[in-house]
Amino acid sequence: MAVAAAVMATAALALAPGAPPRAAGRRPAVLVTSPSATTSTVPAPAVRWAGAVEHLFFHPLVIRPELAFTRDRLAQGFRNFFLTAGEFRAVLAQLDRNGWTLVDIHRAVAGEVRVPPGRRPFVLSVDDVNYYDYSRTRGLGWRLVLDPAGDVKVESRDDRGVRLTDDDIVPIIDEFVSRHPQFSADGAKGVLAVTAYQGLLGERLDDRRSQDRAGSVERATAMARRLQATGWVFADHSYGHIDFARAPLAVARRDIERWQRVAEPIVGPTDLFVYPFGAAPPPSSPLVAMLRDHGYTVICDIDVVPRFIRAQGVVIMSRRHIDGLALRQEARPLAPFFDVASVEDRAARSAGLPRAASAGRVDRRP
Ligand SMILES: [Zn+2]
């Protein structure tokens, strides 16, 4: 599986300080506003962090477990690769209590991380912030929207109607950081990794005949600007969620250029790339050189330890997957972050089952 492959890749460290990235200009200008602190506490000055930087990644959250966790094959994928909004809130509270602080991925790669005294840094990322058709009807969000105050909310559309809530990662983090300033260093929030084959951020951009296409582009662009102004950064997660461990070079190149045509006008240029499925080619692969030549100098894969691999002018940063599988299988490695037993919402996870039973095949990670 992907983790094993990543572990093997670690053993084959191809360290090459190498040539500077050719397209260093792709890194976007980041406009970060300070988190709007609603408490009167003034955080102590941040101190330099010299150790490893952890990276935890998630998917958009399950808002209505009884629609996601049913008996079909898709349900098993939701159980394996997703958390509920309640579980994510529990994770966040424990991360904060255990002294973790969000940091910017570019600072982590540059070795310029600072955290409040006594706290430990981690990068957070969210994959597939697209609100795909398959998940919209299964109790996940429909799209991100700005409320009248300009805050980010997630829209749900189901048998209860259309409504805006805070039940997804961006609104939950935004709100949490505003109440807990020590939880974010330098205004950092997280990395949002997006594909483009079914639009962006829940706005459908693929149907050129759609009468509302201009509106969709406008809303997605406004949302992207708002997210970037509040500490979020974007990553390319490939156009079509393709497998970079298997894709021929020409196929991968076409996919990347398509993402840059469709997504880049909306989310802006990025030097971050996140492998779909966590499926990574070897660091010495020509695909890595192709990514570098297209401006991606920070690439993320999956591993169960924090590490950087420097190869071919890029940095490959590992991430830990935080999902249903991790709650069941990684209690011990995750103990410094949170206690899996108190996070897992077993009742929610069996909400869509007629009886206690949840066998089924394990699908690939989205
Ligand atoms: Zn994905």
Q: Specify the CATH number for the domain of residue 80.
A: 3.20.20.370
Domain membership of residue 349 (yes or no) is no
| pLDDT bucket at 23, cuts 50 / 70 / 90 | very low
Q: Which domain, by its residues, includes 111?
A: 2-35+50-344
Residue 206 lies in a domain: yes
User: How far is ligand 1, taken at its centre, from the CA of residue 219, in Å?
Assistant: 23
* Ion ligand 1: residue ranges with CB closer than 5 A: 127-128, 276, 366
Percent of residues, the chain, with pLDDT higher than 90: 81
The DSSP code sequence of 1-53 is -HHHHHHHHHHT------SPPTTGGGSPPP--PPP---S-PPPPPPEE--S--
Q: How far is the CA of 235 from the centre of ligand 1 (A)?
A: 11
Please state, rounded to an integer, the average pLDDT across all residues of the chain.
Answer: 89
pLDDT digit string, tens, across residues 56-80:
999 999 999 999 999 999 999 999 9
> What is the 127 CA–ligand 1 centroid distance (Å)?
5
Task: Say what the pLDDT of residue 41 is.
Answer: 56
pLDDT at residue number 365: 74
Report CA(206)–ligand 1 centroid distance (Å). Answer: 18
Residue that has been written with the tokens 């209505």 in this structure: 64
**How far does the centroid of ligand 1 lie from the alpha carbon of residue 47, in Å?**
34
| Cα 128 to ligand 1 centre (Å) | 5
Rounded to an integer, what distance in angstroms lies between the CA atom of residue 265 and that of residue 188? 23
Q: Is 40 part of any domain?
A: no
How far is Cα 60 from Cα 180, in angstroms, rounded to an integer? 22
The pLDDT of residue 355 is: 62
Is the alpha carbon torsion for 90, 353, 170, 317 positive or negative? positive
Specify if 353 maps to a domain.
Answer: no
Q: From ligand 1's centre to the CA of 107, what distance in Å?
A: 24
Cα 234 to ligand 1 centre (Å):
14
Q: Which amino acid does the sequence have at 199? A: G
**Residue 42 within any structural domain of the chain:** no
> Other C-beta atoms within 10 Å of 354: how many?
8
313 inside domain: yes
What is the domain count for the chain?
1
Cα-to-centroid distance, 44 and ligand 1 (Å): 37
Residue 364 lies in a domain: no
Answer yes or no: is 200 within a domain: yes
